[in-house]
Amino acid sequence: MMERLDQTPVHSAPQVIRREDYTPPDFRVDRIDLHVDIREGETIVTSTLSVIGRPGRDKYAPLVLDGQNQELIYLKIDGEDVPPCKYTVGEERMTVEEVGDRATVEIRTRIHPETNTALEGLYRSGSMYCTQCEPEGFRRITYFVDRPDNMALFTTTIEADKGSCPVLLSNGNPVGAGDLPGGRHWAKWEDPFRKPAYLFALVAGNLVPVTDKFVTASGRTVDLRIYVEQGNEDKCAHAMDSLKRSMRWDEEVFGLEYDLDIFMIVAVGDFNMGAMENKGLNIFNVKYVLAKPDTATDTDYQLIEGIIAHEYFHNWTGNRVTCRDWFQLSLKEGLTVFRDQEFSADMNARSVKRIQDVRALRAAQFPEDAGPMAHPVRPDSYIEINNFYTATVYEKGAEVVRMYHTLLGAEGFRKGMDLYFQRHDGDAVTCEDFCLAMEDANGADLSQFRRWYEQAGTPQVKASGHYDADARTYTLTIEQSTAPTPGQPDKQPLLLPMAMGLVGKRSKADLPLQLDGENATHGTERVLRVTAARQVFTFVDVDEEPVPSLFRGFSAPVKLDAGQGEEDLAFLMAHDSDEFNRWEAGQALARKLLLGMVADRADGRAMAVPDSFVAAFRRVLTDGEAAPAFRAQALALPSEGDIGEAMRTIDVDGIHAAREHLRRHLAGKLKAELRATYDSMAVPGVQLDGAAIGKRALRNLCLGYLAGLDADGLALAEAQFDSAEVMTDSVAALVCLSDSTDAAGDRALATFHQRWRHDPLVMDKWFSIQAMAKRPDTLARVKALMGDPSFSVKNPNKVRSLLGAFAAGNPVRFHAADGSGYRFIADQVIALDPMNPQVAARLFSPFARWRRFDEARQALLKAEIERVLATPKLSKDVYEVASKSVA
Ligand code: B3K
Ligand code: ZN
């Protein structure tokens, strides 16, 4: 059978969409009555639209409906066939002339979900049919005004074979169902809430529900259902529990209650991303629903909790109040990430959650902000909007929301949220509307703060201090600057909320804070507003020389250089009252040391590790007072990516060598302590509470150091692998074993494969562990793994776990000096692009950083980018990333 390749081809230069060009549509769809008739091989969609013209539009303005990848069967207006001279159908839209102020438009089209490999619109995943419409997938189902400011009332009737698709779902409430001749049946759903088409969803398949109930604060009972394929019912308890806790949390913290009688989640095997917040019918990647202790790691459990919460929270921040246009994406995503971060912080250890989030921001967003795809939290233009679901829009966007919270306080923030909902419930609005609600609710002036939405790039902050013992003053000078980014050569100073304290060198305690001109002290921690390019703060009545602790809790997303030497960093690591900054000081200390070691190696000097560093590390390792989860974070060295970010030219091999050297050095010096900690952190049986998770994290961190050192360590890993009762322990041991070329590695991988080859999610782990292995023959092994029966290039989870893990998670092998890693991944991008442009563009994204490497690597990377660019019929997705990379 011929494969229908599902993509939008790029002819000449694709169109750039600009934020400043926003205009409301000439016609909007007020109601849509959708009938979807699913049959093997083709689906017939009949849609009846109530269309309303905008008063004041140009009287000759045609009705323009977005639509692609479908075949028009008929078009009627007010019950009459439209003559062909009155309309045109192009590759991306249909244009109808002479449509009056109000019209009923009936359109029937044919689509082919079975051959839809882009996984946008209606597609088939295994035996089920499902949809993904954000941002522009609905136009692959039917012709529509497919933009978020068109909020319509939806009624959906689904018809399908009853045997293969007994479950038929859509948004809202079920209002009818029945049997049809020929073994078929139908179900009708009505969504009482207006919504943009990107929130539409439909599912038809052979699924079973896991059910529960939730009683809202006002006493309404909500049916909760998680639909999974048969056999997975025993893996839904954690997702369901996370859902109920999210619902309660949103009531308690934000006063937001769920608004329908039913809330459904469907778990799907083939999905381009994590999950989708469709109204009342969230669709999830199976990876973020299914979990049992023997198949999912502690990290998986935490991700499930966070993503279930995230999608649920969108019901208010995204669905009830949505975005006017896609440039406002962070309005819903930044805000909802902030909300899920706060939820997880309340459910788990707050400072550890903050550390994890900041690590993730530094790993993904800082490099983005420093590269050719850098864009503001509210972008100004795009070619393909799917490329802008970025760490900047999501994670930096969440930092921007967090800064409102820091500046206005929890109460002020809540007042702003209340006003935002009061003003905009049911509307499609902008980031500016959110900012105005925060300002008006608090009587605040946030004019300068708005620059966070406008300016791309990570601000660089330099801090220096001077203590005058005679005057008992401490002068703190803060300088900020932001490097140019594409299209933004000049940057203005930003408003930076700086949470800070001064830690007395003698007392080792936070000192009272009083600024010059104030007549009283203001506690021992406060949030200063940094607004100028250079600003001086003078503290008075400072009794002893302090070490400043700045940007506590990472109160602004900046790169801080406080010019602190080893002594001050070690001091803060031990005595800062802010746990986040204790961790941060340790990371800064390790980064400083590692950068020095990389430079030594490059200059042909031996790499040396001072005893003071080993001592600082030992203190944390053996600190029985600190929580194990925190110690695990504090003892994890900065990642290779993190170290590279701090270098002008990233020395891939040098960083890897230095980090490995430091790991082995620490393991050698602290073998006994690591082993003792490993033993004392044992968790018997299957325990999933926070304390057990923290212990496992610390224990497996110790195992990592020990296994990298010698045969004893490897034997310990093998013993743990053989006796592991939970997936976290099994995976941690397998990572150690597969890094080494010892035969034990292959033995363990074979055992794991044998045991789990029928579980696709566990096989994803098996693939990514091998793709990220440090052993030198990793590329050859990745190539061979593409032939494993469990691998499929059509399944995004598999592509991410094997190819994505290699390209983005194994710097030293991806950046092999001979260019073999580059060639391999570029080949895969070219092969994948016609099938799934979104996944191809993601896989390609590490190439965008090519300018950060040495000349030889730059040339190799650039040649591959150019080869990709020269590929005929490249998608807009890959074209945009590739062309901007070499611009
Ligand atoms: N809103 C979706 C993301 C859609 C991505 C489309 N490429 C999931 C989320 O952020 O909650
Ligand atoms: Zn989201």
CB 429 within 8 A of CB 443: no
Asked whether residue 40 falls in the same domain as residue 146, the answer is yes
DSSP 297: -
Asked whether residue 603 falls in the same domain as residue 541, the answer is no
The CA-based angle 151-157-163, given to 5 degrees, is 140
The CA-based angle 224-225-229, given to 5 degrees, is 165
Mutate to test the pocket of ligand 1, among 277, 278, 337 (most ligand atoms within 8 A of CB): 277
- Domain ends where: 662, 689, 708? 708
Q: Is residue 759 part of a domain?
A: no
Ligand 1 atom nearest the C-alpha of 277 is 11
- CB 134 less than 6 A from any atom of ligand 1: yes
Ligand 1 atom nearest the C-alpha of 275 is 8
CA 263 to ligand 1 centroid distance, Å: 18
Q: Structure tokens of 534?
A: 């250079």
DSSP 65: E
Nearest CA owner, ligand 1 atom 4: 134
Asked whether residue 601 falls in the same domain as residue 494, the answer is no
> Is it the case that residue 3 has pLDDT exceeding 80?
no
Placement of tokens 């009624």 in the chain:
155
CA distance 692 to 119: 38
Instruction: Give the pLDDT of residue 11.
Output: 45
- Which whole number is the average pLDDT over 443-452? 98
Asked whether residue 441 falls in the same domain as residue 522, the answer is no
Asked whether residue 45 falls in the same domain as residue 161, the answer is yes
- Which whole number is the average pLDDT over 334-356? 98
Kindly state the helix (H) or strand (E) to which residue 815 belongs, with its residue range. none
CA 198 to ligand 1 centroid distance, Å: 10
CA distance 44 to 152: 21
Three-state SS string over 549-592 comes to: ECCCCCCCCCEEECCCCHHHHHHHHHHCCCHHHHHHHHHHHHHH
> Is it the case that residue 1 has pLDDT exceeding 60?
no
CA distance 547 to 503: 5
- Domain ends where: 667, 687, 708? 708
CA 236 to ligand 1 centroid distance, Å: 22
- Please name every residue paired with 475 in a beta bridge, in sequence order, or none if there are none: 466, 538
Q: Is residue 738 part of a domain?
A: no
CA 315 to ligand 2 centroid distance, Å: 10
**Tens digit of pLDDT for each residue in 737-786?**
999 998 999 999 999 999 999 999 999 999 999 999 999 999 999 999 99
CA distance 254 to 72: 46
Mutate to test the pocket of ligand 1, among 382, 384, 389 (most ligand atoms within 8 A of CB): 389
CB 884 within 8 A of CB 379: no
CB 280 within 8 A of CB 260: yes
Kindly give, in sequence order, each residue whose CB lies less than 8 Å from that of residue 61, ignoring residues fewer than 6 positions away: 26, 27, 53
Asked whether residue 501 falls in the same domain as residue 389, the answer is no
CA 312 to ligand 2 centroid distance, Å: 9
Neighbours of 345 (CB within 10 A): 16
**Tens digit of pLDDT for each residue in 514-523?**
999 999 999 9
Mean pLDDT of the chain: 97
**Tens digit of pLDDT for each residue in 689-704?**
999 999 999 999 999 9
- Which whole number is the average pLDDT over 336-345? 98
**Tens digit of pLDDT for each residue in 818-832?**
999 999 999 999 999
CA distance 666 to 814: 27
Residue 616 pLDDT level (bands cut at 50, 70, 90): very high
CA distance 355 to 366: 15
Q: Structure tokens of 865?
A: 């980018």
CB 848 within 8 A of CB 371: yes
Q: Structure tokens of 41?
A: 């091989």
Kindly state the helix (H) or strand (E) to which residue 221 belongs, with its residue range. strand 221-229
- CB 198 less than 6 A from any atom of ligand 1: no
CB 5 within 8 A of CB 65: no
- Please name every residue paired with 74 in a beta bridge, in sequence order, or none if there are none: 108
> Is it the case that residue 10 has pLDDT exceeding 70?
no
User: Which domain CATH number covers 79?
Assistant: 2.60.40.1730
**Tens digit of pLDDT for each residue in 196-244?**
999 999 999 999 999 999 999 999 999 999 999 999 999 999 999 999 9
Nearest CA owner, ligand 1 atom 3: 276
Q: How far is CA 98 from the centre of its chain?
A: 45
Mutate to test the pocket of ligand 1, among 132, 133, 134, 315 (most ligand atoms within 8 A of CB): 134
Q: Give the burial class of 501: count Cβ atoms within 10 A of its Cβ; 0-12 exposed, 13-18 middle, 19 or more buried.
A: buried
Instruction: Give the pLDDT of residue 313.
Output: 99
CA distance 113 to 885: 33
CA distance 800 to 463: 40
Nearest CA owner, ligand 1 atom 6: 134
Active site members? 311
- CB 47 less than 6 A from any atom of ligand 1: no
Kindly state the helix (H) or strand (E) to which residue 366 belongs, with its residue range. helix 366-369
CA 410 to ligand 2 centroid distance, Å: 22
User: Domain range spanning residue 681?
Assistant: 569-708
Asked whether residue 576 falls in the same domain as residue 559, the answer is no
Q: Structure tokens of 493?
A: 């100073």
> Is it the case that residue 7 has pLDDT exceeding 80?
no
**Tens digit of pLDDT for each residue in 233-285?**
999 999 999 999 999 999 999 999 999 999 999 999 999 999 999 999 999 99
- CB 324 less than 6 A from any atom of ligand 1: no
CB 119 within 8 A of CB 792: no
Mutate to test the pocket of ligand 1, among 199, 271, 333, 394 (most ligand atoms within 8 A of CB): 333
Q: Is residue 621 part of a domain?
A: yes
Q: How far is CA 386 from CA 67, 309, 371, 817, in A?
A: 17, 23, 18, 32
Q: Is residue 69 part of a domain?
A: yes
**Tens digit of pLDDT for each residue in 394-442?**
999 999 999 999 999 999 999 999 999 999 999 999 999 999 999 999 9
Asked whether residue 579 falls in the same domain as residue 551, the answer is no
Looking only at the bridges linking them, the beta strands covering 102-111 and 42-53 are antiparallel
- Domain ends where: 686, 708, 730? 708
Backbone angles phi, psi at 536, to 5 degrees: -115, 130
**Tens digit of pLDDT for each residue in 640-687?**
999 999 999 999 999 999 999 999 999 999 999 999 999 999 999 999
CA 146 to ligand 2 centroid distance, Å: 19
Q: How many domains in the chain?
A: 4
CA distance 4 to 110: 14
CA distance 388 to 406: 26
CB 294 within 8 A of CB 167: no
**Tens digit of pLDDT for each residue in 797-809?**
999 999 999 999 9
- CB 120 less than 6 A from any atom of ligand 1: no
Q: Is residue 811 part of a domain?
A: no
Q: Is residue 603 part of a domain?
A: yes
- CB 311 less than 6 A from any atom of ligand 1: yes
- CB 491 less than 6 A from any atom of ligand 1: no
User: Which domain CATH number covers 470?
Assistant: 2.60.40.1840
CA distance 45 to 204: 14
- CB 368 less than 6 A from any atom of ligand 1: no
Q: Give the burial class of 700: count Cβ atoms within 10 A of its Cβ; 0-12 exposed, 13-18 middle, 19 or more buried.
A: buried
Ligand 1 atom nearest the C-alpha of 274 is 8
Q: Is residue 688 part of a domain?
A: yes
CA distance 539 to 714: 54
Q: Is residue 855 part of a domain?
A: no
Residue 13 pLDDT level (bands cut at 50, 70, 90): confident
> Is it the case that residue 535 has pLDDT exceeding 50?
yes
Asked whether residue 389 falls in the same domain as residue 516, the answer is no
- CB 340 less than 6 A from any atom of ligand 1: no
Q: Give the burial class of 474: count Cβ atoms within 10 A of its Cβ; 0-12 exposed, 13-18 middle, 19 or more buried.
A: buried
Q: What share of the chain is helix, strand, coil (3-state, %, to 5)?
A: 45, 20, 35
Q: Structure tokens of 132?
A: 């993904």
Asked whether residue 629 falls in the same domain as residue 482, the answer is no
Mutate to test the pocket of ligand 1, among 131, 265, 276 (most ligand atoms within 8 A of CB): 276
Closest-approaching ligand to the CA atom of 275: 1
Nearest CA owner, ligand 1 atom 9: 276
Looking only at the bridges linking them, the beta strands covering 173-180 and 128-132 are unpaired
| Residue 25, preceding peptide bond in cis (omega within 30° of 0) | no
pTM of the model: 0.98
Closest-approaching ligand to the CA atom of 398: 2
CA distance 595 to 765: 31
Round the CA-based radius of gyration of the chain to a whole number and report it. 28
User: Which domain CATH number covers 353?
Assistant: 1.10.390.10
Residue 12 pLDDT level (bands cut at 50, 70, 90): low
- Which whole number is the average pLDDT over 572-583? 98
> Is it the case that residue 34 has pLDDT exceeding 60?
yes
Half-sphere exposure of residue 784: CA atoms within 13 angstroms, side-chain side: 6
Residue 816 pLDDT level (bands cut at 50, 70, 90): very high
Asked whether residue 52 falls in the same domain as residue 197, the answer is yes
Nearest CA owner, ligand 1 atom 8: 276
Neighbours of 429 (CB within 10 A): 20
Kindly give, in sequence order, each residue whose CB lies less than 8 Å from that of residue 267, ignoring residues fewer than 6 positions away: 226, 227, 228, 229, 232, 284, 285, 286, 289, 290
CA 403 to ligand 2 centroid distance, Å: 19
**Tens digit of pLDDT for each residue in 593-615?**
999 999 999 999 999 999 999 99
Ligand 1 atom nearest the C-alpha of 394 is 10
CA distance 751 to 722: 9
Roughly how many angstroms between the first and final C-alpha of the chain, as a whole number?
Answer: 40
Kindly give, in sequence order, each residue whose CB lies less than 8 Å from that of residue 241, ignoring residues fewer than 6 positions away: none
Asked whether residue 517 falls in the same domain as residue 619, the answer is no
- CB 276 less than 6 A from any atom of ligand 1: yes
Buried b (16+ CB within 10 A) or exposed e, 33-59: bbbbbbeeeebbbbbbbbbebeeeeee
- Which whole number is the average pLDDT over 37-55? 98
Strands (E), 442-519: 460-468, 473-481, 496-504
- Which whole number is the average pLDDT over 555-564? 97
CA 133 to ligand 1 centroid distance, Å: 9
